[in-house]
């Protein structure tokens, strides 16, 4: 325990899989003690050295408060946190008219309200540790895409919250950093596709038929999508954690950079390019 007490400590959400688990391993290699926030499965985390798993449901403020108290009471957090990483996230996709209200609400509960709850509860530890807040966003926050309106909106809200809180926390020299990963080789896209198909299965058939062309075009786009390696995103997040003078925004992946550049174009040109990329210009409206 004495060794752990002298390590810089970080807390991250969504640590049980995908980017989260790989990030835990990289942070350990970089010399950190990691408080790994997990909702259910802990995977292989319990077997790793210098990892303390902490149960937390980011959508439940009481659960988040309990997690913050557990970390605060741990000897390894005696000197606070070097970084708080809001990594947990989900993707809800499909035509917005077809997205069930519960799914839209879940999108914001995890991606927007979750980081807000976590940051509020863990700020005392960040403040005492002279630390920073790292919010994992998405390039669609700056360039919203069709069929991805829920994640685009939830991450845009997260970016706005980050930009505002950066100014609020400047008095304590607490950087608030946004990381935008591009499409990455994790299970999040398969989970999003499964949830969208489940929602479609319970949708009004007539309403579903209206968007048959849109859904087929989107499926084709997703089939062509080339997901980048997890390591690329992990290295970017670690860079944000370790930088002496961190940037406001870090972008991981050529697709994320491309969407960032699209956001700077005039709206009409940007929408024409996106429409062409998603092959929506050739989609016929379903019969009402």
Mean pLDDT, the chain, whole residue set: 91
Edge-to-edge strand ranges of the sheet holding 8-12: 51-55, 32-38, 8-12, 83-86, 132-136, 176-181, 249-252
Residues 190, 225: contact at Cβ < 8 Å? no
DSSP single-letter state for residue 109: I
227 pLDDT band, cuts 50/70/90, is confident
Looking at the chain, the number of H-run helices and the number of E-run strands are 12, 7
Question: Architecture of 2-192+227-264 per CATH?
Answer: 3-Layer(aba) Sandwich (3.40)
204 pLDDT band, cuts 50/70/90, is confident
Nearest to 11 by CA among 288, 173, 241: 241
What is the Cα–Cα distance from 256 to 242, expressed in whole angstroms? 22
How do residues 124-181 score in pLDDT, each as one tens digit?
Answer: 999 999 999 999 999 999 999 999 999 999 999 999 999 999 999 999 999 999 999 9
């Amino acid at each position: 325990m004495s060794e752990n007490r002298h390590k810089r400590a970080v807390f991250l959400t969504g640590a049980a899989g995908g980017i989260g688990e790989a990030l835990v391993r990289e942070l350990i290699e970089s010399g950190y003690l990691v408080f790994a926030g997990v909702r259910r499965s802990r995977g292989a985390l319990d077997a790793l050295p210098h990892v303390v798993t902490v149960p937390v449901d980011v959508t439940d403020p009481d659960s988040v408060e309990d997690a913050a108290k557990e970390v605060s009471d741990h000897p390894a957090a005696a000197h606070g946190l070097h970084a708080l990483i809001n990594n947990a996230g989900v993707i809800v996709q499909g035509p917005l008219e077809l997205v069930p209200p519960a799914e839209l609400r879940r999108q914001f509960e995890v991606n927007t309200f979750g980081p807000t709850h976590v940051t509020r509860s863990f700020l005392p530890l960040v403040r005492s540790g002279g630390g920073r807040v790292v919010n994992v966003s998405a390039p669609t926050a700056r360039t919203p895409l069709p069929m991805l309106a829920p994640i685009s909106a939830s991450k845009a809200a997260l970016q706005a919250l980050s930009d505002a809180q950066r100014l609020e926390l400047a008095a304590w020299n607490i950087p608030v950093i946004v990381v935008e990963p591009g499409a990455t080789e994790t299970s999040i896209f398969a989970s999003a596709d499964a949830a969208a198909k489940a929602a479609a299965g319970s949708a009004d058939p007539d309403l579903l038929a209206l968007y048959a062309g849109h859904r087929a075009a989107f499926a084709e786009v997703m089939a062509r999508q080339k997901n980048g390696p997890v390591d690329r995103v992990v290295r970017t997040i670690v860079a944000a954690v370790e930088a002496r003078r961190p940037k406001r925004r870090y972008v991981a992946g050529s697709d994320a950079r491309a969407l960032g550049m699209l956001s700077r174009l005039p709206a009409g040109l940007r929408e024409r390019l996106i429409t062409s990329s998603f092959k929506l210009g050739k989609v016929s409206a379903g019969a009402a």
